[in-house]
Amino acid sequence: MDIKTYIASGILEQYVLGKLTPQEEAEVEKYAKQHPEVRQELDAIELALEEYALLHGKPPPPGVLSAILQRLHAEEKLPAKPSGRRLRILGYAAGLLLAGAIAGLLALYQINRQQSAEITALNQQAALALQSCDSIQIAAQRLENLLDFVRQPSTQAVVMEATGLAADAVATVFYNPETQRSLIGVGQLPAPAQDKQYQLWAITESGAVSMGVFELPEKGRPLQEVSFVDGAQAFAVTLENRGGSPVPTLGQMYVMGERG
Amino acid sequence: MTDTRKKLPPHQDILRLLQEQDQRAITLLYEYYSPALYNIILQLVQVEAVAEEALQDAFLKIWEKAEQYDPEKGRLFTWMARICRNTAIDTLRSGQFKKGSKTGALPDSVNNDEILSQEPEETDPGLRKVVSKMDEQSRKIIDLLFFQDYTQSEASEYLGIPLGTVKSRSRKAIQSLRNILKDEGLVSFLLFSLIETLRIHLGY
């Protein structure tokens, strides 16, 4: 077919106006591909009608665009193709980030809790250490105090020796008439029965005066305070019923020593 | 060929965005083309509220069918205009709104003629100039075929002239339209018209 006749037939106008059957449209498209003149003519017709339509333009009432965009969102037609995929990937990424952040926070929280627990434990340990430190200091001070007392020139050490009930029995009384203070240091005494207790006596001009009962020394407390009795000439230890006795049981005297 | 396609600056950008399914495409298309497309729909459905609804539907279809658009087959506007026309006709068919002219009620189509020939002429200097240079016959045939979506035989029946005359006259009409638009420095008109449209639409 002659192209000029084809163009002049008016079929291209009908094509642009959308008046052709699909078959006729396919034919026009085929010719447009084969013949640049047809393509050019189509373009010119389209452009003319487009410009005519634009000149006739009448702005739609306000709010139509936002209604369209809202419907696009509502019908979820926006996340459809590549950009949609991108959006979804972004969504997943955001989700992952969020999950990661939450996991991180949980981990931090856990670590924080652990650390808090550890800090509490350490605080307790520190308190304990301080306590034992205190008690050690107290013990040290007490020992120092005892040592001071023992070293004082006015303190006399009176060693009491075994009387025969127990061969290796020995104990020492530290006696200071100036400061009116007295201590007993047990070297060696047999362990008493549950209902028995050792009692220290001061032998004075008016007889035996009790200086109190005492236990066998605990570790770290080698010296024990005992009641001071003025004018003691000698000291003796008897084994008495628990709680002590008003008078010494002479048959149970384990050690004895005279003031020099 | 490519010259004509580049006459509208935003065309290529909009097309790219549309085919990338970027939502900005809809906004840009709306800014540039909604007055023209709205008018095409309004000429067919006649009722503003109905035209508004149909315009929304048409834009959603433009969005959904974006990948079906083939630039090799024609201009984007031609494609969109066809979607708008079909949407308007679907609306008329589905609703109680009847297209008067197509069901044979001539007074409606006379009304249509008045709407499209009078209203814009008074407001748009570019349009007034173009329309004043077109002969009555050409203007009428284009309006019937383009805006009223008449088939050639319907136009022949309506105008009471033979089908062959409608064919030759429609070609002649579009030819004269092309010449007038070319003479009038079409691009500046168009840009002016677009800027006007934007100004009205966005309220600058």
Domain ranges of chain B: 1-97, 99-196
Token couple for A162: 């075994």
User: To the nearest whole angstrom, how far is the Cα of B204 from the nearest Cα of chain A?
Assistant: 14
Give the range among A127-131, B111-115, B157-161, B182-186 with minimum mean pLDDT. Answer: B111-115
Between chains, do A19 and B201 touch, taking CB under 8 Å as contact?
Answer: no
Q: Which CATH architecture has domain B99-196?
A: Orthogonal Bundle (1.10)
CA gap B126, B193 in Å, rounded: 7
Which site among B5, B14, B21, B77 would you substitute to test the A interface, given the most A Cβ atoms closer than 10 Å to its Cβ?
A: B21
Sheet hosting strand A196-204, strand order edge to edge: A207-214, A196-204, A234-241, A253-258, A156-162, A170-176, A181-188, A223-226
Between chains, do A60 and B36 touch, taking CB under 8 Å as contact?
Answer: no
Structural fold of domain B1-97:
Rna Polymerase Sigma Factor; Chain: A (1.10.1740)
Identify the burial level of A115 via C-beta atoms within 10 angstroms of its C-beta, where 0-12 means exposed, 13-18 middle and 19 or more buried. Answer: exposed
CA gap A197, A216 in Å, rounded: 9
Q: Is the Cβ–Cβ distance between A214 and A225 less than 8 Å?
A: no
Q: The pTM is what?
A: 0.52
CA gap B87, B94 in Å, rounded: 10
Amino acid letter for position A58: K
Average pLDDT, chain A: 86
Of the partner residues A49, A69, A81, the one whose CB lies closest to the CB of residue B174: A49
Question: Model confidence at B8, in pLDDT bands (50, 70, 90)?
Answer: very low
Q: Is the Cβ–Cβ distance between A52 and B177 less than 8 Å?
A: yes
CA-nearest residue to A61 within chain B is: B52
A10 or A83: which carries more pLDDT confidence?
A10
User: To the nearest whole angstrom, how far is the Cα of A80 from the nearest Cα of chain B?
Assistant: 8
Question: Model confidence at B204, in pLDDT bands (50, 70, 90)?
Answer: very low
B106 has pLDDT over 70: no
CA-nearest residue to A28 within chain B is: B73
Torsion of CA B95, B96, B97, B103, to 10 degrees: 110
Of the partner residues B42, B63, B181, the one whose CB lies closest to the CB of residue A72: B63
User: What pLDDT is stored for residue A236 in this prediction?
Assistant: 95
Between chains, do A54 and B60 touch, taking CB under 8 Å as contact?
Answer: no
Residue B15: Cβ within 10 Å count: 19
A152 has pLDDT over 70: yes
User: What pLDDT is stored for residue B191 in this prediction?
Assistant: 60
Give the range among A137-146, A163-172, A234-243 with minimum mean pLDDT. Answer: A137-146
Pairing relation of β-strands A181-188 and A196-204?
A: unpaired
Between chains, do B60 and A68 touch, taking CB under 8 Å as contact?
Answer: yes
CA-nearest residue to B70 within chain A is: A29
Which site among B116, B146, B189, B194 would you substitute to test the A interface, given the most A Cβ atoms closer than 10 Å to its Cβ?
A: B146
Q: Closest Cα partner for B150 from A14, A124, A180? A: A14
Encode pLDDT of A191-228 as tens digits: 999 999 999 999 999 899 999 999 888 776 778 889 99
A174 has pLDDT over 90: yes
Of the partner residues B55, B127, B152, the one whose CB lies closest to the CB of residue A60: B55
Between chains, do B82 and A18 touch, taking CB under 8 Å as contact?
Answer: yes
CA-nearest residue to A63 within chain B is: B52
B9 has pLDDT over 50: no
A37 or B20: which carries more pLDDT confidence?
A37
Between chains, do A13 and B127 touch, taking CB under 8 Å as contact?
Answer: no
Of the partner residues B48, B152, B181, the one whose CB lies closest to the CB of residue A61: B48
